[in-house]
Amino acid sequence: MAGEIVKMGAVDRRRASGSNNRIKRIVIAGGAGFVGSHLCDRLHAQGHHILCVDNLETGRMSNINHLVGDARFEFRLHDVINPLIVEGPVDEIYNLACAASPPKYQIDPVHTFKTSILGALNLLDLARDKGARILQASTSEVYGDPEISPQPENYRGSVNTVGPRSCYDEGKRGAETLFHDYNDRYGVVTKIARIFNTYGPRMNPEDGRVVSNFVVQALSGRDITIYGTGEQTRSFCYVDDLVTGLIALMASPAEMTDPVNLGNPGEFTMQELARIVLDKTRSKSALVYRDLPVDDPRQRRPDITRARDRLGWEPTVPLMQGLDPTIAYFAAELRRNTKEPVRAS
């Protein structure tokens, strides 16, 4: 039930030994999810106290079980469409709460939209009350089906407001507006990260996004499903690189409130990705083609000039390297959870 506390640790606000960085209490909404759990790990390893908030709609306890029971980690089962009450100080809030893959967020589009808008409002109110910094995990989906490439942050996008993806795209755009307005009107220190396709261990095998789909299909010996001609492109950022970018953005100067693209500018067609996965998994799966979903972007590639110039950030893990631990993770997941043959050696 909402508000249930699995474990709460006392907040130690002493300075870390040998470090100039004060130990913080950090709220991570969506912290049991794919990206959120990696962020929990990184910030916890830095010595901070973590309040992980998740409704477990797409997040999984298996992603954070290794932290539960630690004195500096607290998990709270809660849906951010409802106000979040937190006793004591809060220094930073990361809002990663929302299903991010089309098959998942389209299950209940109204709830998806509420998560983006009401969730943003509730967490912004918490940040305003606590005097905390807050970061919004926005998305490259705000660019819609872009007419230019790569996409810089000042590109306003080409978004369909009444399509099957609109609940997510427009919800994230609305959340960005709220973050801007809370900074402008109330002085809340806000950060906006526009996240491009991210992959790595802890993705749900049933996530429905292209990397998880291709790898699971290849490992299971099933046909690899390519939508459209396969010539549409995506850019893939390894999760460790993304987490580094999120933390750097949160630590940036208070006046830096403009959206920042976080992603890997390396661009691959869907056919290229499929063949890389087939090669790495040594799978004999065939490629099959299906109709392109409505509003599926033809091209997605970030311009990361702003991240390089203002954060000193750029990704370091190329796709060919990051796929290895990702494939190993999925192979282990399939062995645990299914009786299907796993073909990875």
Q: Which residues are catalytic, by number?
A: 168
Nearest to 251 by CA among 302, 198, 196, 310: 310
DSSP-derived 3-state class of residue 277 = helix
Integer Cα distance of 175 and 137 in angstroms: 9
Contact yes or no for 60/77 (Cβ under 8 A): no
Where does 43-175 show beta strands of DSSP type E? 49-54, 73-77, 92-95, 133-139
DSSP-derived 3-state class of residue 268 = strand
Nearest to 32 by CA among 50, 1, 9, 55: 55
DSSP-derived 3-state class of residue 310 = helix
DSSP-derived 3-state class of residue 27 = strand
DSSP-derived 3-state class of residue 261 = strand
Integer Cα distance of 42 and 60 in angstroms: 18
Residue 258 CB contacts under 8 Å (≥ 6 apart), including other chains? 153, 192, 306
Integer Cα distance of 122 and 83 in angstroms: 5
- In eight-state DSSP terms, residue 158 is B
DSSP-derived 3-state class of residue 163 = coil
C-alpha distance from residue 105 to each of 100, 166, 213, 228 (Å): 6, 10, 16, 21
Residue 18 CB contacts under 8 Å (≥ 6 apart), including other chains? none
